[in-house]
Homo-oligomer: A and B are copies of this chain.
Amino acid sequence: MSFEFIENGSVTTPSGFLASGVTAGFKRSGAPDFAMVKSEVPAEFAGVFTSCTFAAAPVQICKKRVQESRRLQAVIINSGNANACTGKPGLEAAEKSCAIAAAALNIPADTIAVASTGRIGVQMNMELIECGVNLAVPALSADGGNRAAEAIMTTDTVPKAAAVKVSVNGKTFTIGAMTKGAGMIDPHLTTPHATMICIASTDAAISKAQLQKILQTNADASFNRITVDGDMSTNDTVLLLANGVSGVEIIPESEEEAAFAEALLALMQNLARRMVLDGEGATKFVEVRIKHARSEKDAKLAAEAVANSLLCKTAWFGNDPNWGRVVAALGYSGARLDPDKCDIYLDDIPVVKNGGDAGTPEADLLNTVKQREYTITCDFNDGDAEYWVWSSDVSYEYVKINADYHT
Task: List chain B residues, Cβ under 8 A from A327.
Answer: 54, 84-85, 120-121, 234
- Check B329–A231 contact: CB distance below 8 A: yes
The interface size bin for chain A is 35 or more
Q: Mark A309-332, 1 if CB is under 8 A from B, else 0.
A: 111001101101011110111111
- Check A119–B324 contact: CB distance below 8 A: yes
Q: Which residues of A are at the interface with B, using a C-beta cutoff of 8 A?
A: 50-55, 82, 84-87, 90, 119-123, 183-184, 186, 188-189, 193, 229-234, 308-311, 314-315, 317-318, 320, 322-325, 327-332, 335, 337, 339-340, 352, 354-357, 394-396, 398-400, 402-404, 406-407
Cα distance, A229 to B50, chains bound together (Å): 25
Given A86-B356, A122-B357, A183-B311, A332 and B231 touching (CB < 8 A)? Answer: yes
A391–chain B nearest beta-carbon distance, Å: 12
Copies of this chain, tallied across the complex: 2
Task: List chain B residues, Cβ under 8 A from A121.
Answer: 323-324, 327, 352, 356-357
- Check A399–B119 contact: CB distance below 8 A: no
Task: List chain B residues, Cβ under 8 A from A183.
Answer: 311
Please, which residue of chain B has its CB at the minimum distance from the CB of A118? Answer: B324
Cα distance, A90 to B355, chains bound together (Å): 12
Cα distance, A330 to B82, chains bound together (Å): 17
A398–chain B nearest beta-carbon distance, Å: 8
Task: List chain B residues, Cβ under 8 A from A233.
Answer: 328
- Check A232–B86 contact: CB distance below 8 A: no
